[in-house]
Amino acid sequence: MRSDYLFTSESVSEGHPDKVADQISDAIVDLFLSKDPEARIACETLTTTNLVVLAGEIRGRGIMDTSGEWAPGVREEVEAVVRATVKRIGYEQDGFHWETFRFENNLHAQSAHIAQGVDAGENKDEGAGDQGIMFGFACDETPDLMPATLDYSHKILQRLAQDRHTGAAPFLEPDAKSQVTLRFQDGRPAACTAIVVSTQHKPGYDEGAKDAELKAWVKQAVAAVIPAELLSDQTVYHINPTGSFEIGGPDGDAGLTGRKIIVDTYGGAAPHGGGAFSGKDPTKVDRSAAYVTRYIAKNIVAAGLAKRCTIQVAYAIGVSQPLSLYVDTHGTGTVDDAALERAVEAVAKARLGGLTPRGIRTGLSLNKPIYGVTAAYGHFGRTPEGDLFPWERTDLVDDLKAALA
């Protein structure tokens, strides 16, 4: 790895049209898992001017049977959850209002051919819901063991959203994007060279004193997030660089589930297998295997076994056992990577029952309605609380050390 370089990551707010779509899809996942923990869900959402469309495949007790018949009242619940999600985000605009947008529900029954490959049977374990490769990553750049550029990008937008929701910054609207560029020296963050924030705003906040107030507020949020030693008079700020940003959200640009996968993961600092997370139940390894590889990578770094760690796993549809496991500590490991791979396999088998789809989702207790909060500001680097973000725990540290002893 290079030791001296510039690196940039971006984030988008909960009001970004793609993130609105992600949050709606995960709200549907939570709704259905609350009814049937074994539900099968693949929900895609489209948002645009005063329109929300759902599509995808589902199956579950008390939700929809194999013929495609909805259980009584569930269709109405789906629409209520969708509108409540948009209301929580804060859209009450002429071009996109939680109460008046047109809604289409095109969810239908899961394919029987997919079901036969995924479901467990008398002579087979539960198989992966699709083929694919999944990556997990951790590094010691921040206390959350996340890439600093992405961590700061997320937290700037979280701060602005908090100020909007509490009324402290009533001139802010839901849609926003951020971007942070850091200079690294000897592989460590040394200076913040550039900040980009574009935030939707109330009319009139694009000129004069009101524009100055908005820009000062953004700089205040940046200063609250990024360590003071990284900021200086050399830091370049681009705040609403195009000028006015009144029309935003789904009215300004269409949104789709799964279009912000790098924002969702590691901000470009690590590979991504290509599969999105939101809208998928935990039998889909796009989601669950990405979570478990983050879990293991984070514990490797937390244990002091490496400063950076990337893990890859691969699956075939209908097959329970992973096809491969790969660990790379990028030359920062205290033990051989091959030894770490053996330790990971042993610990995963002992603690999770293995890296099979069933082992992952039962070992991490993923069959719960815990996904709505993952759909904005990243799936990783979050604080585990109760049932939420179990893949962010660092409770494998002692097990990994013991396996290597």
CATH number at residue 9: 3.30.300.10
User: pLDDT-based confidence at 2, cuts 50/70/90?
Assistant: confident
d(CA 132, CA 364): 20
Residues 235 and 313 in one domain: no
Contact by Cβ (8 Å): 97, 91: yes
Which residues form the domain of 233?
Answer: 5-13+148-249
Would you name the residues annotated as active-site residues? 16, 18-19, 44, 57, 177, 245, 253-254, 259-260, 280, 284, 286
Annotated binding site for ATP: 16, 175-177, 253, 259-260, 276, 280
Q: Binding site for Mg(2+), residues?
A: 18
Strand 236-239 and strand 188-201: pairing?
A: parallel
How many structural domains are present in the chain?
3
336 pLDDT above the threshold of 60 = yes
**Sequence ranges of the binding site for L-methionine:** 57, 110, 253, 284
271: in domain? no
Q: Which amino acid, 137?
A: F
Q: Which of 194, 226, 249 is a domain's end point?
A: 249
Q: What is the pLDDT of residue 56?
A: 97
3-state secondary structure 157-192: HHHHHHHHHHCCCCCEEEEEEEEEEEEEECCEEEEE
The answer to whether the beta carbons of residues 63 and 71 sit under 8 Å apart is yes
Question: Do residues 99 and 38 share a domain?
Answer: yes
Confidence at residue 65, expressed as pLDDT on a 0 to 100 scale: 85
Average confidence score pLDDT of the chain: 95
In a domain? residue 320: yes
Mean pLDDT of 232-250: 96
Question: Is position 390 within any domain?
Answer: yes
Where residue 66 falls among pLDDT bands split at 50, 70, 90? confident
- 397 and 291, same structural domain? yes
Binding-site positions read: 16, 18, 44, 57, 110, 175-177, 253, 259-260, 276, 280, 284
Q: What H or E segment, with its residue span, contains residue 223?
A: helix 208-225
Segment 60-81 mean pLDDT: 94
Question: Which is nearest to 288 in space by CA: 52, 20, 41?
Answer: 41
Specify the pLDDT at position 237: 98
pLDDT on residue 122: 56
- Mean per-residue pLDDT, 12-40: 97
CA distance 319 to 165: 45
Question: Is the domain of 288 the same as that of 400?
Answer: yes
What is the predicted pLDDT for the residue at 167?
A: 97
Kindly give the pairing relationship between strand 92-93 and strand 324-328: unpaired
CA–CA separation, 225 and 157 (whole Å) = 10
State whether 297 and 381 are in the same domain: yes
100 and 29, same structural domain?
yes
The pLDDT of residue 316: 94
Residues 74, 101 share a domain: yes
- Is 272 within the bounds of a domain? no
CA angle 45–48–54, rounded 5-degree value: 20
Residues 110 and 159 in one domain: no
Quick one: pLDDT at residue 96?
A: 98
pLDDT at site 121: 58
Residue percentage of the chain with pLDDT more than 70: 97
H helices then E strands: how many in the chain? Answer: 11, 13
Residue 114 has what pLDDT? 59
Whether the pLDDT of residue 380 is over 60: the answer is: yes
Whether residue 153 sits in one domain with residue 9: yes
Judging by beta carbons within 10 Å of its beta carbon (0-12, 13-18, 19+), is residue 380 exposed, middle or buried? buried
Alpha carbon distances (Å) from 33 to 247, 284, 327: 35, 14, 32
Q: Are residues 287 and 396 in the same domain?
A: yes
Last residue of a domain, one of 198, 224, 249: 249
| Mean pLDDT calculated for residue range 214-218 | 97
Confirm whether 397 is domain-assigned. yes
**What is the mean predicted confidence (pLDDT) over 225-244?**
97
pLDDT tens-place string over residues 174-199:
999 999 999 999 999 999 999 999 99
How does pLDDT run across 97-155, given as a tens digit for each residue?
999 999 999 999 987 655 556 666 555 577 787 889 999 999 999 999 999 999 999 99
pLDDT reported for residue 54 = 98
Indicate if 323 and 298 belong to the same structural domain. yes
- Residue 58 counted as domain residue: yes
Cα 380 from chain centroid (whole Å) = 7
As given in the structure block, the two tokens for residue 163 are: 């100020």
268-326 residue pLDDT tens: 999 999 999 999 999 999 999 999 999 999 999 999 999 999 999 999 988 999 999 99
pLDDT-derived band of residue 337, with 50, 70 and 90 as boundaries?
A: very high
